[in-house]
Amino acid sequence: YVYGDRLKDISLMDLAVIGMKELRKRGKLADLDVSEEINACSIIVDVDVDGENQEWLVMFKNETHNHPTEIEPFGGAATCLGGAIRDPLSGRSYVYQAMRVTGSGDPRIPVEQTLPGKLPQRKITTGAAAGYSSYGNQIGLATGQVVEIYDPGYVAKRMEIGAVIGAAPRSNVVRETPIAGDIIVLLGGKTGRDGCGGATGSSKEHTEDSIHTCGAEVQKGNPPTERKIQRLFRNPSVSQMIKRCNDFGAGGVCVAIGELADGLRIDLDAVPKKYDGLDGTELAISESQERMAVVIRSENVDDFTALVAAENLEATVVAVVTSQNRMELTWRDQTIVDLSRDFLNTNGAKQVTKAMIAAPALETYFDKVDTATTWITNLQRLNVCSQRGLVELFDSSIGAATVLMPFGGIYQATPVEAMVAKIPVLAGETNTATAMSFGYNPELATWSPFHGAVYAIVEALAKVVAVGGDYTKTRLTLQEYFERLGDDPHKWGKPLSALLGAYYTQITLGIPAIGGKDSMSGTFMDLTVPPTLVAFAVNVVAANKVISPEFKQPKSNVVLIPLKRQVDALPDFSLLAKNFSQVTKLITAGKVLAATSVKQGGVAEAISKMSFGNQIGMCFSKTMEPEDLFTADYGSLILEIDQTHDLAEAFGTVDYVVLGQTQAAASIKVNEIELDIVDLYQAWDKPLEKVFPTKTQSEPQTLLQPAYTTRNSRKPRVSHVKPRIFIPVFPGTNCEYDSARAFERVGGSVETCIVQNLTTKAVEQSVESMVKGINQAQIIMFPGGFSAGDEPEGSGKFIATAFRNPRIKEAVMELLQQRDGLILGICNGFQALIKLGLVPYGEIVDMSETSPTLTFNAIGHHVSCMVQTKITSVLSPWLSRVALGDIHTIPISHGEGRFVASATQVQQLIDAGQVATQYVDLTGEPSQAHAYNPNGSMYAIEAITSPDGRVLGKMGHSERIGTNVAINVPGLQDQQLFQAGIDYFR
């Protein structure tokens, strides 16, 4: 077929997007963003910003790092996310939400049963989770959904998929054809040997020696650097200078730069190096992370590099576009590569193979119902049971745009159907959001790769519909992962069958896959991964119309919208389309309180999870047989509908079954058996507890309940209509956008200062800028993040060290002591304040071994969720708009948030009114239980102040607020801290 101006042979992977090409040829897909740049799937979206319509590009991408994660779990999974981010980021979009879908063997298998040449499954899965979450948490990316799929086949090689979504105003993305004389700039990280051979290594079959020989193929990630590139590309002055951009992934310089133009002269000596000793080949093929190659006009080089430097990044001219149709690489003044573009465009030697598709067994996957299955054994299946301990490792709330938290309800116990987040506008409010879901069942795909692909798409679409999306406007991206194919026609038949199933579904429903990724190396000795085609679905939704799956109230009708399967086990697509469309209309009209899709665990799984979030039970009104309860029924939906709505009128010609009604009692009644919801939840939560713990053994404490009623009446001597807020942005800071918006929303004027530390001169300039910024400000805000990568026992240490600089220290104390200023520190900012002594002492002092501090969470890892905090003192001006005893529901996300102090020190703080808030349970009582006090803080302390209250440090992210944010977790979210800070100066 014709590709650009040349003919290209059709390959197997062309099937993944051939449906898109067919639908586009029919005149459909007007939203598809088409260009010569292929960074990520890209669609054109109308975004409502404060009532004004703006045209944006939404970009999404999925990425696997199966091979490196199998070899080195932490680094491999970390760079899976980094690699996924880089694709839409190179398209100049700001990446704001991520999804993680992984495949593992049973992590509970004893270590002594580990196969030779393999790491234990538990080591792989826990190390990979730590790596991916570490990267995402540091870069400041909300991970909206995390699901691990368990199958014995993934012992052959782990599956590690990262899927991300980004967006940018369309005006920011300029795409022009490079011309002779244009300059190519390499910006971001430096180049090392890490990742050399990574792309080829990932395509090889693993052997017993792989774990010993492939370690150098794993890239070394640096998320703070990628965070800086995100900030840089968000600046229109930068992005609009870029004619074309490529990230550095597989193949390094030769691919990233080699794809930018037909004629290139690349100077490998100019490539910045992590260390000396790299030869020309290593410089050319290294897949070191966090690097971008951009094409700009020669006259823009100085302005561009200055803007890069302002973001504390390096930029180097490494190549020039030529009029010759050749790619030339020079090293040490010698040409070491000189290739014709025509040769490169051949894509190498042609290979042809045969594929044979085997018919699936007559007994279908759906026929295999274990009649001995009980409600509890069904909930304890590995692919049904709770993964809360895994999910809480990932920051889900940063960006203040997460519409649905990963778990909903007052108990935060009902997992969401899809991740949903608002488009990341920099100023103003938007109601435009994106929903992303996925679908895949390894058992179904093993029976029939064709059916597995069909139902993967159906499952993904059903989840989108369940949150309020319109399936007809959904766009797909596919991830294929299969065994090493060799020249066996039967093996080739598996991916061919799966891709044909995906194509059939796309054409039948009229929705396209507009991108994807493939990997064909899932073999270890005689073991192979299950046939894998994971479908990711993306839809644009109205945030105020999104719903979540937890039951909302008693006495609602619970309705099943069943999907009928045909004799060939395929869905009745006409019925599916009708069902999905009607459910979307009902949700948009506000008639559906909760919705969920039916998945692997059948109706029993769905009803249980809907019940957990608010402990609202259900009574079935009809007898349910095992095949009705426990059969995977992808495409079916369960809705909670208020009794005031007439069901016959609501559903019209759509078939539905009334399963029963919700009830206030915390139990599920089925077939005259009553199942206690708490017992079901504990059974569901148990299988993976030893792998990903959710509980700690808290030490018994007498939990004091402070109640300090005296407010600080001190006011500044000079009032300000629009107070200035100074926000320093250190390497590792990632909450500056949320913090700035929170102040600007209530009338503050914010100055952010990028702290530069790449050279001695840059450090000195940063000191001057900080002193100037503090002297002009009324408020200093220390936002959250991971300064210096959150090194062990060092959170906030980088910031504290900088603020001990004599000139900066003097400016801070002058602000507090002579200008009556305020200081706020949240999370990493709180850690900095406590290391400086600003809390609890009110001044910058040297700390002793007995000073109060913040240390590692009691559970031993990062935790992200929502917590309830109670106002225990109203001393601080920051709390002038709340009352003693008020309870707020606040997101937390940290690994070192446990407040530690002696009993004497705590009593002194309480007596002085310096304990501002405590973590409390659902009755409002302070608690040491992990569910309510996730870091295990002593005396349940969440926030403390300076003696006069003007410096406040807290762990909860009070800045992560906004319209339609975290709508599935009840509670008052806005503590009005920022309004109170502004009011203080008026």
> Are the CB atoms for 146 and 100 separated by under 8 Å?
yes
Provide the residue type at 254 as one letter.
C
Query: Looking up tokens 């990446």, which residue turns up?
Result: 95
Q: In whole angstroms, what separates CA 565 from the centre of its chain? A: 34
Q: Is 99 helix (H, G, I), strand (E, B) or coil?
A: strand
Measure CA 907 to chain center. 40
Identity of the residue numbered 67:
H
Rg (CA), the chain: 28
Angle at 702 between CA 700 and CA 708, to 5 degrees: 145
Distance (Å, rounded) from C-alpha 781 to C-alpha 735?
11
Strand partners, 56: 45, 169
Taking Cα atoms as reference points, which of 517, 438, 623, 603 lies closest to residue 41? Answer: 517
Catalytic residue among 72, 827, 888, 942: 827
The 3-class secondary structure across 216-228, one letter per residue, is HHCCCCCHHHHHH
959 catalytic per annotation = yes
User: What does the block give as tokens for 832?
Assistant: 């900095």
Q: What are the angstrom distances between the C-alpha of 229 and each of 293, 320, 552, 790?
A: 12, 22, 42, 20
Tokens standing for residue 407: 């778990």
Which among 1, 5, 93, 82 has a CA at the least distance from the CA of 41?
Answer: 93
Instruction: Determine the Cα–Cα distance for residues 521 and 518; give it in Å rounded to an integer.
Output: 10
Extract the runs of DSSP E, i.e. beta strands, from 467-579: 475-481, 513-519, 523-524, 527-528, 532-542, 557-561
Q: Catalytic: 753?
A: no
Count, in order, helices (H) and strands (E) of the chain: 30, 41
∠ CA 729-732-737, nearest 5°, is 50
Cα–Cα distance measured from residue 558 to residue 662, given in angstroms and rounded to the nearest whole number: 7
Active-site position among 480, 605, 942, 959: 959
| Amino acid at position 496, single letter | L
User: DSSP for 541-608?
Assistant: EEGGG---SS--STT-EEEEE---B-TTS-B-HHHHHHHHHHHHHHHHTT--SEEEE--TTHHHHHHH
Q: In this structure, what token pair is assigned to residue 618?
A: 């259900």
Instruction: Tell me the C-alpha distance between 556 and 548, whole Å.
Output: 15
Q: Which residue in 390, 412, 146 sits closest to 968, CA to CA?
A: 412
> Six-digit token pair at 866?
């929502």
Q: Which amino acid is at 893?
A: S
264-267 and 419-422 as β-strands: parallel, antiparallel, unpaired? unpaired
Q: Is 429 a known active-site residue?
A: no
Alpha-carbon span 482 to 918, nearest angstrom:
51
Q: Which amino acid is at 484?
A: R
Strand partners, 321: 264
Specify the 3-state DSSP secondary structure of 239.
Answer: helix
DSSP-assigned beta bridge partners for residue 206? 524
Q: Which of 196, 304, 312, 208 is nearest to 252 (CA)?
A: 196
Strands 822-826 and 951-954 come out as: parallel
Distance, C-alpha 44 to centroid of its chain:
22
- Which amino acid type is present at position 611? S
CA angle in degrees (0–180, nearest 5) for 297-425-421: 120
Neighbours of 850 (CB within 10 A): 10
Contact 786, 732 (CB under 8 A): yes
Q: Which H helix or E strand runs over 283?
A: helix 280-285
How far is CA 146 from each of CA 67, 500, 538, rounded to the nearest angstrom?
Answer: 20, 28, 16
- Number of alpha carbons in the 13 Å side-chain half-sphere of residue 677: 24
3-class SS at 337? strand
Residues labelled catalytic: 827, 957, 959
